[in-house]
Structure formats: C-alpha cells, structure tokens
C-alpha cells in the first residue's frame, strides 16, 4: 500500500455509525436499519455500491479497538492494542512511549482474601473517583503511579518510570471464589514491572481496607502505547478525526490522525466536517449514539438516531466528497444489548464505484451488493482506489 499510494487533492469521508448493524425486532421482523426512515442513506445506497463487512472474521465480535483499526485498514489481529492502553485512550490520557497502562477494577474480598465480587457491587462513578484519589500519586521503586477513574468500578493505572516492561501476568483471576493472583513476569526484563505492580496492589489493599465493598483492586491488560505506522505513512493522507467520545479520538491518534475539537451533537460533527474540509483529505466522522442505544437494548432509540443521522446527511453530501463511505465498526443489535459478530452494512459512493442493484441501506439489501462480503480492512483500499489515490501494482 505504501508503494502504490499517492497524495492527490481528492477527498474521502468515512462516516462510521457505531454499532450500525442490527437484528430484527421479533415483533416486526425488521432490523433497526430496516425500520428507520432513512431516505438519504437509501439514495446513497442506490447511487453507490454496497456490501457487508466483517471487522475481524465471521463469528468474531470485535471491541471498539479492533473494529476501528480494521476500518482504518489495519489488521486488527496483527495490530493489537493492550487493554490498559485502550482504557487510557478512552479517557484521553496522554501516554508517554515508556509508560505502562493497566486496566483496574475495584472489587470485594472477604476476610480470607477471596474475591466475592469482581466489580465491588458496581460502585458509583463518584465513589470510583473518590477512591482513585486515595490510590493516586504513589511512588514505588522510583516508579510514579497515576490512577484515573473511568466509570463505576473501572479505573486506569499508569506506571511511569525507567526499566518497565509490560510482559507480566494479570492479578484478576476472572472469577470469584478464589484469591487475587500474584503478578508474574513473563520474561526476566519484566521483573521490575511485576514487583512494582504487586507492591501497588498490596498498598491499595491496605489503603482500601475500610472502603468495603471496594476493598481491593484487580489489574489486567498491562501494555504500552503501540507504535503503529501512521495513515500519512501508509496512505499519504492528511486525515482528521471528528468524534465526540475520547475513545475514538484516541484510536484515531494511535494511527496518526489529527483530531478536531470536540463538540456534542451529530449536527455539530457535520459542521466540524465542513469547517475542516479544506485542510484535510480524509475525514473519520464517528457517531456514537447508535451503539449506545443498541447496548441499552433500546431498539426504538437506535432507530431514532439512524433517522437523525439521515436527516443531517445533506450537510455532508453538499460537500460532494470524491468518495463517501458509510459503515460501522461492528454490529450492536438492540435485541442482544451488546456488540455482535454480524457483518456490518457498508456503502461506498464515488463516480467510479460500479454501482449495483441495491436501492436501500439495510443488512438484507447490502447482502446483494456489488462489494459482496468483504473484510472491513478492505474498505480503505477500496476508498483509496475510488479516490484515484492508488497507482498500479506491477507493470
């Protein structure tokens, strides 16, 4: 890709509707997309070429990290982001290249040290913030330890110091009824990390003793910020991310995107697109609320968000991007109340896309689309090709 990509003035907009794909409401037999009135998306589907994309491989339910990396053209199995780093990215923490991040849970242990609740009864986010303050700022063996609240029982620990290597085991046994695990180094260089982490856990236990049910911590996903090749290096693009939630801005930063200032509504995001349109040639535009509604099992709300996106769409199409891609990072069917493995509808609109017979944007219609069933990692090459940003491979 690096060898055949060229910089051109043409513009690609990738509208990512988080959790786009769905499943039928058992009462109507129609999915969220099939229920929503989305005349603008339908018109794009008719004009463009459609298909279904698998973010990882069929059957695999991706998290937000793999789902987005695939859309940016990075093999999500090869380009793995540690859980700790992803969590840090999700709350906008800037990690240094040597920092190690871990995901933490407050949990409950009994008098003998056995875990009775891995989520400490899902304490409130306020309580979490209060407890994080107690643990924050320790220094162990000249390693500075920062603790940041996430939500409910979740937090992030960042270890800052010399000679830290993330190859250690987790303290979370992933079940109750047993004690927490000692963290062990997986190679000799990681001995210091394991030692510091174990001492941090012991100190946390002491500091939290009187805060039942949140009287212990579990740590997992020790990881360092990955050094991915940037989208500028691979595609010779000058990309910008327009996203409301920190997680998606953070993922975009990991692949070297610029990140637009945060605003809050779909209309705001489309306005940001217009404002930044001259300066960039690739636009990752992320809409979160379809996924949130799906996660909440709120079919009707997911339908409404789809309709809201559709209503805002003319502001995007008025810019007449050379290539417009509309897809999702994964499916989040309301009936499953969570991410799922189902392939995601995708439409690509350009002058040279070779349209198909699809006239509406839905799971069923995309099944007959001209893109067929593709891997989400193939969307970027297709967008690049349609934007005439790829030269020939071989003579």
Work out the number of other CB atoms within 10 angstroms of the CB of residue 288. Answer: 20
The Cα–Cα gap between 209 and 207 comes to 6
Exposed e or buried b for every residue in 309-323, given b needs 16+ CB within 10 A? bbebbeebeeeebbb
The closest of 60, 58, 91, 68 to 17, measured between CA atoms, is 68
How far apart are alpha carbons 7 and 95 in whole angstroms? 30
Contact pick of 9, 59, 97, 188 for its own copies (by CB under 8 A): 59
Q: What does the per-residue mask of binding to its own copies show for 347-366, with x meaning CB under 8 A?
A: -----x-xxxx-----xx--
In the complex, what is the shortest distance from the CB of residue 392 to its own copies, in angstroms, rounded to a whole number?
5
Residue 177, interface with its own copies (CB under 8 A)?
no
Q: Name the residue with tokens 């017979």.
A: 357
Q: Is 173 in the site for its own copies (CB under 8 A)?
A: no
Q: Check residue 163 for interaction with its own copies (CB under 8 A).
A: no
Residues 6+ apart with CB under 8 A from 368: 356, 357, 358
- Among positions 23-52, residues that touch its own copies (CB under 8 A) are 23-24, 31, 52
CA distances from 362 to 44, 104, 250, 370 (A): 12, 39, 29, 14
Provide the token pair at 73. Answer: 């053209």
Both structure tokens of 116: 């009775």
Span from 206-214, 288-296, 317-325, 329-337 in contact with its own copies (CB under 8 A): 329-337
Q: How many residues bind its own copies (CB under 8 A)?
A: 57
Q: Which of 7, 57, 209, 300 binds its own copies (CB under 8 A)?
A: 57
Q: Which stretch binds its own copies (CB under 8 A): 111-119, 260-268, 288-296, 383-391?
A: 383-391
Least spacing, CB of residue 49 vs its own copies, in Å = 10
Q: Which residues bind its own copies (CB under 8 A)?
A: 4, 23-24, 31, 52, 56-67, 76, 80-81, 83, 86-87, 333, 335-336, 339-342, 352, 354-357, 363-364, 367-368, 370-374, 378, 380-385, 390-395
């Amino acid at each position: 890709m690096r060898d055949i990509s060229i910089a051109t003035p043409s513009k690609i907009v990738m509208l990512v509707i988080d959790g786009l794909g769905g499943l039928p409401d058992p009462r109507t037999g129609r999915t969220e997309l099939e229920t929503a009135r989305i005349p603008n998306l339908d018109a794009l589907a008719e004009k463009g070429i459609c298909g279904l994309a698998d973010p990882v491989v069929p059957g695999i339910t991706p998290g937000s990290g793999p789902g987005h990396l695939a859309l940016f053209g990075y093999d999500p199995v090869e380009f793995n982001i540690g859980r700790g780093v992803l969590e840090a990215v999700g709350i906008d923490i800037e990690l240094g290249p040597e920092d190690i991040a871990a995901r933490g849970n407050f949990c409950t242990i009994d008098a003998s040290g056995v875990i009775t609740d891995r989520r400490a009864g899902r304490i409130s986010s306020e309580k979490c913030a209060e407890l994080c303050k107690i643990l924050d700022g320790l220094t162990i063996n000249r390693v500075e330890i920062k603790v940041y609240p996430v939500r409910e029982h979740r937090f992030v620990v960042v270890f800052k110091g010399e000679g830290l290597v993330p190859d250690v085991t987790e303290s979370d046994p992933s079940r109750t009824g047993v004690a927490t695990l000692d963290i062990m180094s997986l190679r000799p260089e990681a001995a210091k990390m394991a030692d510091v982490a174990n001492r941090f856990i012991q100190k946390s236990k002491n500091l939290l003793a009187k805060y039942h049910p949140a009287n212990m911590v579990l740590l997992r996903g020790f990881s360092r910020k990955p050094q991915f090749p940037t989208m500028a290096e691979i595609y010779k693009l000058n990309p910008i991310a327009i996203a409301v939630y920190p997680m998606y801005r953070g993922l975009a930063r990991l692949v070297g995107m610029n990140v637009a200032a945060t605003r809050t509504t779909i209309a705001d995001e489309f306005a940001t697109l217009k404002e930044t349109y001259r300066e960039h040639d690739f636009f990752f535009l992320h809409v979160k609320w379809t996924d949130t509604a799906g996660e909440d099992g709120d079919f009707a709300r997911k339908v409404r968000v789809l309709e809201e996106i559709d209503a805002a769409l003319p502001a995007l199409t008025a810019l007449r991007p050379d290539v417009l891609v509309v897809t999702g990072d994964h499916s989040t069917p309301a009936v499953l109340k969570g991410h799922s493995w189902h392939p995601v509808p995708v439409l690509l609109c350009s002058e040279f896309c070779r349209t198909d017979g699809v006239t509406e944007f839905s799971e069923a219609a995309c099944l007959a689309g001209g893109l067929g069933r593709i891997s989400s990692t193939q969307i970027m090459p297709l967008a690049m090709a349609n934007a005439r940003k790829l030269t020939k491979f071989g003579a």
